[in-house]
Amino acid sequence: MEAKPSQGLYPLHRCKTIHLVRHAQGVHNVEGEKNHDAYLSEDLFDAHLTPLGWQQVDNLRKHVKASGISNKIELVVVSPLLRTLQTAVGTFGGEGCIDGVDAPPLMKAGAGDSDRPAISSLNRPPFIAVESCREHLGVHPCDRRNSITKYRELFPAIDFSLASLPNQVETDEDVLWKPEVREEDKDLAARGVKFMNWLSTRKEKEIAVVTHSGFLYHTLNSFGNDCDPAVKSEISSHFANCELRSVVLVDKCMNGSDPPVTNYPGKIPSGEDLPSDIADEK
């Protein structure tokens, strides 16, 4: 018999707060809305943000600062495509770069056909690019990434050393994208679950993830099956451009090894402490 939804309790040190963000509007979103076949166009290779997309980023940035999220985040994980990289640094990066400050920028001025000034990495959390949170792989040129060498030139402070799937060496060119084969939804979902398992092994407790619509939808639909349908829908419904949704990732599988830093063992100094209810049973 199917279990009814119920409340759950989990140790705090086995939970993380994950702020999930879909990238802002890209040029492929605009062209694909007009004609779905546009997604097959090489003109949309590694699509960049539109001017409207940058406005969406500016508004999300204001929200994360006003809500206090910006100062809580310990790590930003981003899909290594231009539109997600632009969204991530525009939302969670610093202000404009200051002359004389010896810190590489998160983004150089004008990166990715934008009119944006350089974005500082000063006093911001680490940014790492991870291949396993990319959009569906294959067929659509907008989902094919540029070379890591090119990205490092445009986004100097982002760590691209993890821009490969687990157990794969770093590759400069995009070897995952195939022109004739589109990744199936079930395979994307499985990749997404592995990615969430990897997040649970990280030491950081509050993490932002900037990724894609398809990745979010199919990954999150793998979760929440033990919840009320309304909660399941809240978790897994489609994301709008530049939408942020905060969730708690619970490590039920003992993937992580973080100690319970807020727990206290008690009995210091030691003494008799037999509970009354146990005493009554004897």
Tens digit of each residue's pLDDT, the chain (282 residues) = 455 677 788 888 889 999 999 999 999 999 999 999 999 999 999 999 999 999 999 999 999 999 999 999 999 999 999 999 999 999 999 987 665 567 899 999 999 999 999 999 999 999 999 999 999 999 999 999 999 999 999 999 999 987 654 444 456 899 999 999 999 999 999 999 999 999 999 999 999 999 999 999 999 999 988 888 999 999 999 999 999 999 999 988 888 778 888 999 888 888 888 787 765 555
**Cα–Cα dist 121/97, whole Å:** 8
Question: Is the CB of residue 23 less than 8 Å from the CB of residue 93?
Answer: no
Q: Is the dihedral of CA 25, 33, 216, 227 positive or negative?
A: positive
- d(CA 26, CA 38) in angstroms, rounded, equals 13
Residues 49-86 as b/e (b if ≥16 CB within 10 A, e otherwise) read bbeebbebbeebbeebeeeebbeebebbbbbbbbbbbb
Sort strands 15-22 and 244-250 into parallel, antiparallel or unpaired: antiparallel
Residues 244, 19 contacting (CB under 8 angstroms): yes
pTM of the model: 0.91
Compute the residue count for the chain.
Answer: 282
Question: CB within 8 A of 181, min separation 6: which ones?
Answer: 138, 139
Instruction: Give the CA distances from residue 76 to residues 38, 222, 246, in Å, rounded to whole numbers and listed in that order.
Output: 31, 23, 14
257/231 Cα distance (integer angstroms):
28
User: How far is the C-alpha of 153 from the C-alpha of 157, rounded, in Å?
Assistant: 10
Cα distance between residue 118 and residue 128, in whole Å: 18
Alpha helix segments (H runs only) across 27-74? 27-34, 51-66, 69-72
Cβ atoms of 16 and 206 closer than 8 Å: yes
| pLDDT for the residue 216 | 98
User: Could you list the active site residues?
Assistant: 23, 135
Please report, as a single letter, which amino acid is at residue 62: K
Which of 81, 83, 80, 99 minimizes the C-alpha distance to 91?
Answer: 83
Structure token digits, residue 68? 């206090």
pLDDT at residue 9, as a whole number: 86
Distance of alpha carbon 258 from the chain centroid: 21
Residue 109: per-residue pLDDT = 95
pLDDT of residue 276: 75
User: In 11-22, which positions are buried (b, 16+ CB within 10 angstroms) versus exposed (e)?
Assistant: eebbbbbbbbbb
Query: Tokens at residue 77, please?
Result: 């994980």
pLDDT at 258: 80
Domains contained in the chain, CATH given: 13-250 (3.40.50.1240)
Question: Are 259 and 13 contacting, i.e. CB atoms less than 8 angstroms apart?
Answer: yes
- The two structure tokens encoding residue 248: 């708690």
Distance (Å) of CA 39 to CA 31, 118, 140, 152, 214:
8, 30, 6, 26, 14
Looking at residue 226, its pLDDT comes to: 84
